[in-house]
Amino acid sequence: MDKYIIGGWIILTVLITSAGYSEGGEEVKTDTFGAIYEEALLKEGVREISYEQFVKLRDSGDDHVLLDVLLPDSYKNGHIEGAKSFPIPTINKENAQKRLSKNSRIVVYCANFHCQASTSAAKALSGLGYKVLDYKGGLKEWEEKGNSLVK
């Protein structure tokens, strides 16, 4: 019986210490976007993410496109660093094909939890075949958590 316990600990130790590394010891890039996409809350056909999930994705360095879907004046007044302006009224198949690669992994946001622009954008872009996450807290929560906006 003891040999099974010891064997289990050895396997567990190997799994823990080798996680994130290849056999040669090189760091293996994890798919944070994919993991968050799978665990995201599915609401009204849209995958919503929390502030914590959004920060985890940003910190991971995983490739993704951050879209501010509010009107251009709002974007000029302040947006999350790295975001591109793609106002909800302009989201359609033609504009998406011009601005996004088909493999783009997208995070959309708008003003706050009550704003529906990001939900509409997520539905539209998902309908076009993109993988989309909706950061529902938007600009308001981002600032409330102590982050600044860029102009």
Of 37-41, 69-73, 139-143, the poorest mean pLDDT is in 37-41
* Token pair listed for 99: 């601005």
Whole-model pTM over 0.95: no
103 DSSP 8-state letter: T
Domain boundaries, the chain: 1-29, 31-144
Residue 9, pLDDT above cutoff 60: no
Whole-angstrom Cα distance, residue 133 to residue 62?
Answer: 14
Cα distance between the two ends of the chain: 64
- CATH placement of domain 31-144: 3.40.250.10
pLDDT confidence of 20, banded at 50, 70, 90? very low
82 DSSP 8-state letter: T
For residue 130, the model assigns a pLDDT of 97
Q: What percent of the chain has pLDDT over 90?
A: 77
For residue 117, the model assigns a pLDDT of 97
* Phi–psi pair at 6, nearest 5 degrees: -65, -45
